[in-house]
Each structure stands twice: as C-alpha cells, then as structure tokens.
Homo-oligomer: A and B are copies of this chain.
Amino acid sequence: MSELAAQVAADLSLALHRAKFPVPVGVSVRHFHVTEADWRVLFGAAAPVKKRGLLQPGFWAAEETVTVEGPKGKISRVRLVAPYRTRTQVEVSRSDAQTLGIDAPVRGSGKLSGAAPVKITGPAGSVAVPDALIVAQRHVHFHPDDAARMKVKEGEMLRVRCGMGGPRETVFEGCLARVSDKFALEFHVDTDEANAAWLKNGDLSYLV
C-alpha cells in the first residue's frame, strides 16, 4: 500500500473503532464560577448551598444565582457552579454575549487570557471583573479508562457528530479532548451549539 492509502486506512480504522463508543451530550447553560473573596462580596458570609450534583464528579450547581451585566443588557438568574475557584469566571453563549453587548472570546475553562470584562451583582454586592466573561470552547471529558478505550489523548482536537435522527444533524470540528481521573465521559456544548444541532442533555454523539 502507498503511504497515503495506509494513512487513509488507519484513519478509517480509528474512526470505526471510536464509533463503537457513544458519548452523552451535556448542555452547559450560562453559569459562573467564583473565588471565595468574590463570593463574600456578592453573597455575604454564608457558603453556597448545593442544589444538585452535575455529571462531572465534584462539581455541583448551587442554589445561588447572580445578575450579569454588560453595556447593552442584563441577564438574571445566572447560576453558580461550585466549588470555589482561583479565578471568577462567567460562561455564556455567544447569543447571551450579544444580549449583554460584550464581545466575549471562545476559551477553555480557566483560560482567561483575553476574557472580557463583566459586572456581576448578587444580593449583597457587585464585582466588576476585568477578565471573566468567556464563551466556552466545546470539549469532551474523558476518564483515562475511556480515553484508553477510545484511543484519545489529552489536548487532541476531535470531530464530533451529533443530532442524528433529528432535524439538525451537525458535525462539530475543534472539540477539545480533556482527560482526567476526575472526569466522566461527556461532550460539553453550550446552548447555541445544542440548539444549532437540536440537542438535549443525554443525547448521544460520536467521534468521527
């Protein structure tokens, strides 16, 4: 076989292998993460109260919400995802960013270089954070066992097919592979991406 034919055969073989492992979709609705210091300003002294656990181990949605504000508008009831972080971070869809009138960049969680400024208001006070607002980069969480089984490496850029059988089947390029023993297998998209492909939580997607 020529080198090209060998590469095509290897790619096809890998794609067929990965296609045996469906990945559940998780739709991330707008939310925020907070430092303990910003928490105190926004909510006073008490600690966040757990509302429900998330599929990713150790993460949970809190009862507490804030209002997020930009030059063109506000969005209320933006929920806290705990536990505390070392940086305060607000994750919205680009539709949300347009409502706020803020030009927010696509970033992986915690990668706040170039993140947009935003004002956050809670029941006890407000913080204006200079670099907190991002649109999340779509990504797939893998436990190391899943990654080994599916032959995926941390940091790899994946192509994910989703919405099969619905009115808006879509192939998303540029989906970041995140591998950690703290993760469960899940493809995270935001609400714009979920709506563009007509997805809901728990729908199945496939690496291609």
CB-CB under 8 A from A156, the residues of chain B are none
Name the segment of A45-53, A119-127, A166-174 touching the other chain: A166-174
Please state if B95 and A191 are interface contacts (CB–CB under 8 Å). Answer: yes
Smallest Cβ-Cβ distance to A196: which chain B residue: B196
- Bound CA span A106–B168, Å: 9
Shortest Cβ gap from A144 to chain B (Å): 27
Residue from B169, B173, B191, B198 within 8 A of A169 (CB atoms): B173
Copies of this chain held together in the complex: 2
Tell me whether chain A's interface is mostly helix, strand or loop, or mixed. mixed
Please state if B196 and A106 are interface contacts (CB–CB under 8 Å). Answer: no
CB-CB under 8 A from A195, the residues of chain B are 93-95, 98, 192, 196
Which chain A residues have a beta carbon within 8 Å of chain B's beta carbons? 93-95, 98, 105-106, 137-138, 163, 167-174, 189, 191-193, 195-198
- Bound CA span A94–B174, Å: 23
CB-CB under 8 A from A173, the residues of chain B are 163, 168-171
CB-CB under 8 A from A192, the residues of chain B are 95, 191-192, 195-196
